[in-house]
Amino acid sequence: MLGWVIAGHDYYAQDMLDAIERRFGPQPQCCAVNYWNGLSTNMLSRMMCDALYNCDSGDGVVFLTDQTGAAPYRTAALMSHQHSHCEVISGVTLPVLFAMRMHRETLTSEEFRDRIVEQGGDDITSLWHQQQKNPPFVLLHQY
């Protein structure tokens, strides 16, 4: 089963997790990380690292964030480069999470990433999709 780390500003993450659990019951391998104004990026990294550890069963983890480029997204992006099968999604909404909840057990992290971006329309994107728009710099010549 894919782990979910929901991360966002203020009460965003906990409110999302609470709404999902009210509707569907307790969600295994699912954590909320709230990013408060004034919280250091070091502390945010520690909180998200703990959440990643608690949510990962070996099948992969999906970071679900509120805003592309904001601190939770950037922190998740850095962490995803160090762990295999980690995806970073931004712009998630409650209806999309309700619809995607059942796919946690059947899809790989990459398939989940593609499906949620496809279903979410223009508001939802992923780190991978953003990188495809702006591929990394490649050195053409060896000196």
- Structure token digits, residue 47: 């909180």
Residue 142, pLDDT > 80, answer: no
Query: Residue 4: pLDDT band by 50, 70, 90 thresholds?
Result: very high
Please give the order of strands across the beta sheet that includes 30-35. Answer: 30-35, 3-9, 61-65, 86-90, 125-126
Give mean pLDDT, residues 102-120: 92
Residue 124: the pLDDT is 94
Query: Residue 135: pLDDT band by 50, 70, 90 thresholds?
Result: low
The set of catalytic residues is 9
Residue 136, pLDDT > 70, answer: no
* pLDDT above 90 coverage of the chain, percent: 78
Give mean pLDDT, residues 91-113: 93
> DSSP characters for 17-64?
HHHHHHHH---TTEEEEEE-TT--HHHHHHHHHHHHHHH-SSS-EEEE
The mean pLDDT of the chain is: 92
* pLDDT above 70 coverage of the chain, percent: 96
Give mean pLDDT, residues 86-94: 94
Residue 94: the pLDDT is 93
